[in-house]
Structure 1
Amino acid sequence: MPHDQHELALHLLSAYDTQLREETEMLGATAIDRSGPLVRGKFGSRGFVSYRDLAGLTGTALDDLIAQTIEHFARDAHVSSFEWKTRGHDAPPDLSERLLAQGFQAEDQETVMLGEARLLAVDVHLPPGVQLRRIDDQADSGPDLRRAVAAQERAFGVPFDLEDFVQSLEKKRALVEVWVAEAQGEVICTGRLEVVPGTEFAGIWGGGTVPEWRGQGIYRALTAQRAKSALARGVRFLHSDSTPFSRPILERSGLLPVTTTTPYIWSRGQAPHE
């Protein structure tokens, strides 16, 4: 990475740590509390752990904090699992091993991409017959949301909880936009824009194209449309936790990789590793 880009990446990372962690990650939570450096939240049956840093905790003290956090969520019979979201630049470097030792399971690592929204807000040529449309701002958005969820399940190959999604959308109605690309009456690509109140950021999430339509610029076009909408809302920066599929598209558009993120999941009934 060239020196000027490296300096920009450090500036963006600082803004990310300052503006997008702790309470900011708890938007829509049904309950929030603090424990030392941690902010803990509940989202229905799922828990979430956020922090800006771990206050220098290492060794046994960090193990104790992890154990106390497990106990906190385990005491709540309504919580079936919780996520401890790690970042690649966080200390200490052995946090992942300590989470695994207490029964967490690591999900896929993603790259945190950040940059100016204006860099993505460009005109992108679409294949013939493909149209972009926002679907959450209609009087009856239910049928379109169901079609979008079905397309997202095809794009990512995993189930997607429609009920949880609709409930989350209702809680953040003024902050979330759901966009789709359609062809021949079918949803072929989906993506959300989520404005983060009190910050300079909006997130671009859930972007996925069904397999037979990939490689034709549709995800890039949907991202550009969300960037234009973000600018219209006064947003300066966009951020995304990117898969290996979306990272190169966002990087070519001018976003920078600033760190990585790996979710560690504790589920009720999991036993620590021996």
Structure 2
Amino acid sequence: MTPEHLLAAFQEQIRLGAGEGSTRSTRERVGLVFRVISSDPDDPWAMVDCPAGLGPDPDAVIAGERDHFASLGIPLEWKTYSYDVPADLGERLTRAGFVKEADEALMLGELPVLAADVVLPAGVTIREVATHGDARRVKQLYELVWSGAWGRADTDTSRDDELLDAADPNELSLLAEESADGPVRCAARVSLTPGTNFAGMWGGSTHPDWRRKGLFRALLATRARWALERGATLARVDASPDSEPILSGLGLQRVATTTPYKFVPERDGADPGTS
């Protein structure tokens, strides 16, 4: 598939279709935007996407979403793509008080190209995250790799209980280790988007001392095979600069840049439009 075909499938199936929702969130369309809202009262957050543009008055839509979630005290991420309209969406978000975060590469491709077996280093095994102890060790790895930005690897945000959500058959979390009580050497997650051809590859992170040993590729291949067995045919990754060269070498294609803009409400009743 060409980059144009892949991006068209992503736009139609994910952004305009099934979206970014999961069992831990709800998704709804409100006017010109899609909202994804956490269903966990202990971890409130929201994400907004505007795949069909913002109409004749973009600033009013942006302010409306900002003020809506600020009134609820919920942190908001506006997920943008480089082909969004208006073309100056990022500048408008910044003027409205949103803070730009790091650009990421939207990489898409066909799952079979990722599924080839990879030889693991001696003594390393891959298995499913199965206990809270596993989840804590994965969190320790993410904190080491991302300086406390839990789950930022390949741009996913997760919590311990999310790694153990056995009620969702559309997700799998993996770790690579030398022993069950030792440090996690690499960790990653895959999630299917029901009703689409896509499997999302998230959280791929490798311990700094274990890079360039094939662990990232091995977990990628394991996730690809798992997704293929369940009917997915396409992969999507929001890739960090570290991951992009590896994924590119394996056949995934950068089709766009995705950039999150964050707005955290002021406390003590401050005016959300003055930050």
Q: What is the TM-score with the length of structure 2 in the denominator?
A: 0.87
The correspondence for 1:68, drawn from 64, 67, 79, is 64
**Secondary structure in 2 matching 1:192:** strand
CA positional deviation for 1:92 = 1.5
The CA RMSD measured in Å over matched residues stands at 2.3
My pick for the range that moved more, 161-170 or 201-210, is 161-170
Going from structure 1 to structure 2, the CA distance change for 1:172 and 1:67 (only over 3 Å counts) comes to: farther
Shift of residue 186, structure 1, vs aligned partner: 2.4
How far off is 1:183 after superposition?
A: 2.1
Partner of 2:173: 178
Alignment length (residue pairs): 259
What amino acid does structure 1 have at the position aligned with 2:67?
E
2-structure distance, mates of 1:97, 1:169: 38
Instruction: Identify the residue that residue 249 of structure 2 maps to in structure 1.
Output: 252
Identity in percent? 36
Shift of 1:144: 1.1
The match for 1:212 among 192, 203, 209 is 209
Residues 34 and 228 (structure 1), Cα distance of their counterparts in 2 relative to 1, 3 Å cut = closer
Taking the aligned partners of 1:32 and 1:25, their CA distance within structure 2 comes to 8
What are the superposed Cα offsets for residues 74-97 of structure 1, whole Å, 9 maximum, x if unpaired?
1213x1x11000001112211100
Report the CA distance shift for 1:215/1:48 in structure 2 as closer, same or farther (over 3 A).
same
Q: Against the structure 1 CA distance between its residues 220 and 31, is the aligned structure 2 distance closer, same or farther, given a 3 Å change threshold? A: closer
Q: Distance in 2 between matches of 1:178 and 1:219?
A: 13
User: Is the 1:25–1:50 contact (alpha carbons within 8 Å) kept by the matching residues of 2?
Assistant: no
Structure 2 unaligned spans of 5+: 152-156
- CA–CA distance in structure 1, aligned partners of residues 135 and 95 of structure 2: 39
Distance 2:98 2:128 in 1: 37
Mapping of residues 147-166 of structure 1, within 5 Å: 147-160=137-150, 164-166=159-161
Q: Is the 8 A contact 1:100 1:272 kept in 2?
A: no
Equivalents in 2 of 1:268, 1:165: separation in Å?
Answer: 25
TM-score by length of 1: 0.87
1:273 is displaced (CA, Å) by: 7.8
Structure 1, unaligned runs of 5 or more: 1-6
- Paired residue secondary structure (2:248): helix
Question: 1:168, 1:220 → 2: CA distance?
Answer: 20
- Separation of aligned partners in 2, 1:121 and 1:32: 31
Looking at structure 2, the residues matched to 13 and 242 of structure 1 have their Cα atoms a distance apart, in angstroms, of 15
**Residue identity in the other structure for 1:175:** N
Match of 2:186 in 1: 189
Residues 204 and 72 from structure 1, CA distance in 2 versus in 1: closer, same or farther, beyond 3 angstroms?
same
